[in-house]
Structure 1
Amino acid sequence: MNNRIVVIGANAAGAKAAAKARRTDPRAEIVVLDRGSFISYGACGIPYYLSDTVKELKELMSTPVGVVRDRNFFSKVKGVSVRTNTEVTAIDRTRKVVRLREGGGEESELCYHKLVLATGSSPLVPPIDNVTLDDVFTVKSIEDAELLKERAVPGAAACIIGAGLIGLETAEALQGKGMRVTLVEMRDQLLPGVLDPEVAAVVEKQVKLQGVTVLTGCAVTGLDGEGRVQQVIAGGRQIAADLVVLAPGVRPNVALAREAGLAIGVTGAIAVNERQATSDPDILACGDCCETTHLVTGRKVFVPLGSTANKQGRVAGINAAGGAATFAGVIGTSILKVFNVNAGKTGLTESEARGQGFDVETVLSPAPDRAHFYPGAKPILLKLVAERGTGRILGLQAAGEGAVDKRLDAAAAAITFRANAEQLSQLDLAYAPPYSAAMDNLIVAADIMKNKLAGHARGISAREVKRKLEEGDDFILLDVRSPAEHGEIGIAGAKLIPLGALRERLEELPRDKEIVAFCKVSLRGYEAQKILDAAGFADVKFMDGGIMAWPYRFRDQ
């Protein structure tokens, strides 16, 4: 008998593993088992189907040339046998067989030479009262998508529990269907674990402007209704809801692996090595069911993303077919579009870096996404995180109406290859006015980081400035913009001295107080710091990112 490779799971990782195994070994027998009816579909596209951006579900299950990836496709095109509606109930590692039940019938056995686990993940269902009421949904499967779209009625109330990637994308989709949407998040910001608070605030501001009610720092304790959900109980309040979407995250499907005695990692996902091999060398795992290594920290992480699943599936398929391939790990790169805002991160956030014991410096750098004079230029905010002492780039976050993906991708490469701020600042990036400024915002952020690490620039976050104002700290908030800019928009309590007049008006500033200078993006704020330093002022800083990075209320609002 030819080498038989059995793959459990027929979506991103499993389908990729099977297809790559076939290309690696044309003679192997490859069998894919999946308990569902739909296979090899793009679950990440479900929110766009809900919003009608993607018109038909079959588009999520089709190749780029429009061929549906069904059992016949895998058989005829890939040379792979796929059995749908087939549940694997157990793995006998000693005999190298899997027990399975096809179509709810009797159990049978299938032997394997190599086994690939691509069992994926399942939505987290929070331990709250009445979660089994009708019209309570998750967003994971094709069946979920069909039911949710049917119930998304204009004018009805939808409550989404969880403000991560899935929650925000679903909020936009349902709002676009004419529903009244409330987004509830237990943490005190949107996109916790993805963005630091000041970057998440950019997203929250735009989400609210689109009419979504946002409740952060608000824990859901239960649902209420007669048969169907009618209310969400959260933070001591009752929120009307004709439907509820549970989106607090996902958990890896590891029951089969655990029952078979395979090692489960520290993250709760299946432990694998760089070859995607489990603790049994004849069993590999890939995709959302397994953990991987974070390339910045060296620690094991659970980062369930379609991009990672495909890469791991490719490696697992090669190795199952007798090849030799490795997957080094990830740096947690992710991105989303919600309404008119693009946001994402790569590497570590500031909070993650500090939590891992790094001594960090940060930079906030707002700027247009292309030359400021070119039509269509839109704002973006970058937050760069680096290690003090070495200057090593640890992470980048980005948010705004403009293009953030190219900055994240460039930073992802830099972080992967352990570049420092000096090396990042020297990258030869593509430039023409329709695409970027002559000094791209990422390069500017790296230059600011170099200045900070060298002790030339001293920044303070908008969040810290807000705290100082609220607590009545004795300091000077110095606006060095023009009178016209100051009159148009400003921060309450700021003193105006335009940068061009600063040298002649030094006597207006006390030398014994902390001074925080700012402008539109804090380039002039930094120049003000240097002027005051040269004049002998002892405690001068600039506000990182200037007024463009101020996510709070402005004067007179």
Structure 2
Amino acid sequence: MKMRIVVIGANAAGAKAASKAKRVNPEAEITLIDRGNFISYGACGIPYYVSDTVVEVKELMSTPVGVLRDQVFFRKVKGVDVITETEAVVVDWRNKKVELWTAVSGTTSFIDYDRLILATGSSPLIPPLQGSELAGIVTVKSIEDATFLKEQAVSGKRACVIGAGLIGLETVEALALCGMQVTVVEMLGQVLPGVLDDEMATLLERHIQSHGVQVMTSCRVSCFEGNGHVEKVITDQGEILADLVVLAAGVKPNVSLARNAGLEIGATGAIAVDDHLRTSVPDIYACGDCCETTHLVTGKGVYAPMGSTANKQGRVAGINAVGGDAVFNGIVGTAIVKVFDFNAGKTGLSEFAARAAGYDVEIVLSPAPDRAHFYPTAKPIVLKLVADRENGRLLGLQAVGSGAVDKRIDVAATAITFRATAEQVSHLDLGYAPPFAAAMDNLIVAADILKNKLSGHAKGVSPREVKKKMEAGEDFLLLDVRSPAEHEVMRIAGAKLVPLGVLRDTLDSLPKDKEIVTFCKISLRGYEAQKILNAAGFSNIRFMDGGILTWPYELEK
């Protein structure tokens, strides 16, 4: 008798699981069920459709060669039967049956299975606020959402995006490119909370503001107002006029089907699975946004809904559902986003998350061009490396700037996955030619700085710590070793200017009885100044990580 595999949910994870199961066991009967009308589409591409970067919405539902991924495609090409506009409402795992409800016909039916794969995905978080039912309030999840947003993104109109996470910022860019006046509201104190640390987020926030977007952080929405259609967003910082409101405050896993069937729900609120993506009930697997996974740095369960993870998990679940032995070990929390002319990404743990997890961390802020500085297309990026001070193991990397951050994030993701140390990363044989990278790649430079810090050769202090010292009135000298011309353009209030080229000749003018913090544009010269002062007998010297380029506070000009 042929094995019967039923997959609930026909987007990234479910479509991948069904297709892979059929490839592994061509004799199996695979049925893919989804409550929606559209299947196997790339929701992550919706902002790019709205902005006309992607011209046709069908491109989000097509293969790389332009074939529409619909029911006919899955039946004829993949050998998978697809049932749409039908919801799985009950899983009877004792009798291996799923009860289905088809709203169009108002009928109930049942389907038997030998193995069941739950790929029920996630749903946008809808805040329970007065006025949330008003027309003109939309999420960014479905093809229907994409079509609506495209219609509403009219130049000159006003949009308010609730949530400054990945999808929120992508939508901010899309609407602004359409000519809308855009405000983004974030409940927490920075953009990309949980992705970037605050000083890195500030660099991105400044760039977003430079494109005419109003950014309101630490701002809570209390309600929406309008006469049938949204007109205002009421917040604790005042009211925002809006013709369109986009809810992008995150997603929650769709677990009601699993919970009602008695499957274990993890501490994250998503379905608990093992490394074979088996649930707590025999012959039922889960994959994608509906299930939790393991963070490879902390070893703890996390909820990290990403299209990339969903596809990889779908493959593993599909293999195992037909008798295979595939493993999904976990993730390191890699994420990346483009907002206007800036790119931002992270992998592993942020400094905040690493400290919260109990690590004694060392950090590096390292700004530099993304390729040889003399190459015409070189653009600046800032790296923030987070490591375990005890053993030099990399814990995380963040990257922000107009240059190529993706390759540094991907190399770091690999290094973190395999528990590499700064010593090991500093010796990686990465590709070099001036159009692609500097002779010493940004990530290798950051690893070398980290090695210098861990060995005691370099002593750094973060811009955040410097600001705290200034606000506390501590008696220390902030020493700017840039050129007079650079100092004239912009400077940190209260800093003393002594250009690096004359530092050796002016040592007698500097106090040996107080702490000196040196800095320059990126703190390469700041580090050189630290070594010069150390050699001259100054003992309490540190350089400011990242220099003035990563100073997230006001500057004198």
What TM bracket, shorter-length normalisation?
over 0.9
Aligned counterparts of 1:520 and 1:236: Cα–Cα separation in 2: 35
Aligned counterparts of 2:72 and 2:58: Cα–Cα separation in 1: 15
Aligned counterparts of 1:332 and 1:534: Cα–Cα separation in 2: 42
RMSD, aligned α-carbons: 1.0
TM-score, normalised to structure 1's length? 0.99
Matches within 5 A, 1:362-401: 362-401=363-402
Aligned counterparts of 1:552 and 1:378: Cα–Cα separation in 2: 22
Aligned counterparts of 2:433 and 2:105: Cα–Cα separation in 1: 60
Contact 1:478 1:516 (8 Å CA) reproduced: yes
In structure 2, the partner of 1:434 is 435
Instruction: Quote how far apart the aligned CAs of 1:500 are.
Output: 1.9
Matches within 5 A, 1:372-521: 372-521=373-522
In structure 1, the partner of 2:8 is 8
Q: Which runs of 5+ in 1 are unaligned?
A: none
Instruction: Quote how far apart the aligned CAs of 1:541 are.
Output: 0.8
Aligned counterparts of 2:537 and 2:425: Cα–Cα separation in 1: 33
The reply to whether residue 133 of structure 1 matches residue 130 of structure 2 is no
Cα deviations by residue, 1:189-232 (Å, 9 ceiling, x for unpaired): 10000000111111101000000000111111111111111111
Letter of the structure 1 residue corresponding to residue 464 of structure 2: R
> Secondary structure of 2:230's partner?
coil
Contact 1:89 1:100 (8 Å CA) reproduced: yes
Percent identity for Structure 1 against Structure 2: 67
- The farther-off stretch of 395-404 and 505-514 is 505-514
Contact 1:290 1:302 (8 Å CA) reproduced: yes
Aligned counterparts of 2:216 and 2:472: Cα–Cα separation in 1: 25
Aligned counterparts of 2:461 and 2:282: Cα–Cα separation in 1: 52
Aligned counterparts of 1:281 and 1:382: Cα–Cα separation in 2: 45
Contact 1:366 1:380 (8 Å CA) reproduced: yes
In structure 1, the partner of 2:525 is 524
In structure 1, the partner of 2:31 is 31
Aligned counterparts of 1:272 and 1:82: Cα–Cα separation in 2: 25
- The farther-off stretch of 487-496 and 219-228 is 487-496
The reply to whether residue 552 of structure 1 matches residue 553 of structure 2 is yes
TM-score, normalised to structure 2's length? 0.99
Instruction: Quote how far apart the aligned CAs of 1:127 are.
Output: 2.6
Instruction: Quote how far apart the aligned CAs of 1:338 are.
Output: 0.5
Aligned counterparts of 2:127 and 2:425: Cα–Cα separation in 1: 42
The reply to whether residue 157 of structure 1 matches residue 158 of structure 2 is yes
In structure 2, the partner of 1:96 is 96
Letter of the structure 1 residue corresponding to residue 262 of structure 2: G
Instruction: Quote how far apart the aligned CAs of 1:104 are.
Output: 4.2
The count of corresponding residues between Structure 1 and Structure 2 is 556
The reply to whether residue 45 of structure 1 matches residue 45 of structure 2 is yes
Instruction: Quote how far apart the aligned CAs of 1:307 are.
Output: 0.2
Contact 1:205 1:551 (8 Å CA) reproduced: no
Instruction: Quote how far apart the aligned CAs of 1:552 are.
Output: 2.6
Instruction: Quote how far apart the aligned CAs of 1:358 are.
Output: 0.6
Cα deviations by residue, 1:378-433 (Å, 9 ceiling, x for unpaired): 00000000001110000000000000000000000100000001001010000000
Aligned counterparts of 1:418 and 1:346: Cα–Cα separation in 2: 13
Cα deviations by residue, 1:116-150 (Å, 9 ceiling, x for unpaired): 00000000012322211111110000011111211
In structure 1, the partner of 2:286 is 285
In structure 2, the partner of 1:83 is 83
Aligned counterparts of 1:105 and 1:130: Cα–Cα separation in 2: 30
> Secondary structure of 1:31's partner?
strand
In structure 1, the partner of 2:341 is 340
Instruction: Quote how far apart the aligned CAs of 1:60 are.
Output: 0.3
Aligned counterparts of 1:168 and 1:483: Cα–Cα separation in 2: 38
Cα deviations by residue, 1:472-491 (Å, 9 ceiling, x for unpaired): 33221101112222223222
Letter of the structure 1 residue corresponding to residue 463 of structure 2: A
Instruction: Quote how far apart the aligned CAs of 1:510 are.
Output: 1.4
In structure 2, the partner of 1:241 is 242
Cα deviations by residue, 1:48-74 (Å, 9 ceiling, x for unpaired): 001010000100000000000000000
Cα deviations by residue, 1:319-358 (Å, 9 ceiling, x for unpaired): 1111110100000000000000000000000000000001
In structure 1, the partner of 2:259 is 258
In structure 2, the partner of 1:181 is 182
Q: Which runs of 5+ in 2 are unaligned?
A: none
